[in-house]
Amino acid sequence: MGLLEGKNALIFGLANERSIAWGITQAFKREGANLGISYAGEMLERRVKPLAEQVDCKWVEECDVTKDDQIALTAEKAAKHFGKIDVLVHSIAFAGRDELSRPYYETSREGFKNAMDISVFSLVALTNAFLPILNPNASIMCLTYYGSVKVAPHYNVMGVAKAALESSTRYLAYDLGPQKIRVNAISAGPIRTLAAAGVGGFRDMYKHFADMSPMRENVTIEDVGNSAVFLASDLSRRITGEVLYVDSGFNTVGVQMSAKEEKSE
C-alpha cells in the first residue's frame, strides 16, 4: 500500500514533463494519491492534458492565480469533485525575463509586483480559498530555491520573492498549526525546467552545482518528488514551517572549491 493511499492531492503549476511539479505528480501517483492538476493559461493546456492522462488524473483545471474569483471557482470545483483535500502543492513562480538578465537594482516596479503576486501571494490566496475543504493533518507545500538566502547571480527579484515565500511558509504554518495543518517548503537544487531557462547563466550555474555540492551531482525532479511524498504523508506529521533542502548538500558548503583545487593543495 502506498504512503498516500486514499489522500486527495492537488498540484498547482504543472507546465510540462520537465516541471518539478511533474516529478511530484508521478511520485504521488506511485504512492496511491487521488490526483488533481491545475495549470496556468490556455497555452499550457495542450502540454498538461496528455500528462494528466498518463497518471489517470480526472480533475484538470485552468487557474489564473492572479485572479481571486478564479481561485475561488477552482476551490469550488475541487470541493465538488473531491469533497475534502489532504495535500496542496504550490509549484508556481514567475518573473519577467528582463528582470532576470539585468542588475537587480534595475528591477521595474511592475516586474517586482508581478513576481511577488504570482510567486508569493498566490500561496496565501490558495491557502485561504482551500482552507474550508482541507482535512485535519493536511499538508501544504511550496517550492523554493537557495537564491532566497544567498545571492545566485541573475536570480534577482526571484530570489527576493522566494525569501518572501519562505517567510510566508512560516507564518502560514503558525496560523494553521492549531488546525493540525502543516505548511513546508522544498528548496531544490537547480533543475533544467522551463522556469530555469529564463535565468541568465543558468547552464554555468548548473554545472558549477554538480562540481561543488558535497555529493557531486545534480538533483532530479524524481528526487524532489520523493521528498514531496514524505512531506505529504503522515510520516511528517510534526514537521511544519520548515525549508527542506534537496540539493546534494550544496547549501551546507561555505567556501567552495572544485575537486581539482582540493587535490592540488
User: Could you list the active site residues?
Assistant: 145, 155
CA angle 215, 192, 39 (to 5 degrees): 125
How many other CB atoms are found less than 10 A from the CB of residue 233?
A: 20
CA angle 259, 188, 212 (to 5 degrees): 10
Cα of 61 vs its chain's centroid, Å: 18
What cell numbers appear for 182 in the block? Answer: 502543516
Cα of 260 vs its chain's centroid, Å: 34
Question: What's the Cα-to-Cα distance from 216 to each of 7, 209, 247, rounded to whole Å?
Answer: 35, 8, 10
Cβ atoms of 62 and 39 within 8 Å: the answer is: yes
DSSP notation for 122-154: HHHHHHHHHGGGEEEEEEEEEEE-GGGTS--TT
d(CA 248, CA 163): 21
What cell numbers appear for 218 in the block? Answer: 545534480
Return the amino acid letter for 120.
Answer: V
DSSP notation for 158-172: HHHHHHHHHHHHHHH
